[in-house]
Structure 1
Amino acid sequence: MKKVVLTLAIVLGGLTAFAATPVLVQHNTEVVAQEEFKEIEISKLPTAVAEAVQKDFAGAKIEKAYVNDKEEYKLEISKDDATKTLYADKEGNWIKK
């Protein structure tokens, strides 16, 4: 009986050594460069951008307009108490961001 208890104690002691094995965790970090947009007057939007908004979002009102160094435009539009942010290039083509 003593041998069974001793054997059991040795086996359990050996299992705890495996349980103490460190687990390696890899963390992925994503860095996103934030573009600088400067607010501009809505009247200074290129005609192509304003026309694209009216064509694709009929009845929407441009609340704010921004531009960056690449001449990409960030537009905040509203329609029926809903707001949306859109991005377009100077030719009025939509950009996904």
Structure 2
Amino acid sequence: MKKIIIASALVLGSISISASVFQFTHSERDLVMELQNEYEAAYNEVELQDLPIAITEAVAERFNNTTVSKAYINDAKEYKLVLSVNGVIETVFTTETGDWINK
């Protein structure tokens, strides 16, 4: 009988631990989404014809069959480019001189 009670306590304890881990993961996801929204709000859309020539040349050099769909700039003059590469959407980052940024 003691074994059944101990086993039940262990099972209930592990269930409550699993539930608390889920809540922690859920709040982490909310934090990541909030930070991502703030990060993206820091970029302002730029007209494609206003992109520096160095950036358009860097895109043409690095990617084949690529179309720049949208372009954004932040206060640090870093560009966020949304590219269509062979029908696949990719986001890349570059400086105004066409140097690639890993983010």
Instruction: Check whether TM > 0.5.
Output: yes
State how many pairs are aligned: 85
For residues 17 and 89 of structure 1, the distance between their equivalents in structure 2, rounded to whole angstroms, comes to 64
Give me the TM-score of the superposition, normalised by structure 1.
0.67
Q: Name 2:9's counterpart in structure 1.
A: 20
Q: Name 1:6's counterpart in structure 2.
A: none
Say which one has the larger Rg.
Answer: 1
What amino acid maps onto 1:15 in structure 2?
K
Shift of residue 71, structure 1, vs aligned partner: 1.8
Instruction: Please say which of residues 62-71 and 23-32 is displaced more in the overlay.
Output: 23-32
Q: Structure 1: where are the runs of 5+ without partners?
A: 1-11
For residues 16 and 81 of structure 1, the distance between their equivalents in structure 2, rounded to whole angstroms, comes to 59
What amino acid maps onto 2:87 in structure 1?
D
For residues 73 and 55 of structure 1, the distance between their equivalents in structure 2, rounded to whole angstroms, comes to 17
RMSD over aligned CA atoms reads 2.2
Shift of residue 80, structure 1, vs aligned partner: 3.8
For residues 51 and 65 of structure 1, the distance between their equivalents in structure 2, rounded to whole angstroms, comes to 15
Shift of residue 79, structure 1, vs aligned partner: 4.2
Structure with more helix by fraction: 2
Shift of residue 58, structure 1, vs aligned partner: 3.4
Q: 1:15-52: CA deviations, max 9, x gaps?
A: 23312142334434253322122111012212221111
Q: Percent identity?
A: 32
Shift of residue 53, structure 1, vs aligned partner: 0.3
> How is 1:1-80 mapped onto 2 (pairs within 5 angstroms)?
12=1, 14-18=2-6, 19-21=8-10, 22-23=13-14, 24-25=17-18, 26=21, 27-28=24-25, 29=28, 31-32=31-32, 33-34=35-36, 35=39, 36=41, 37-80=43-86
1:88 matched to 2:90? The reply is: no
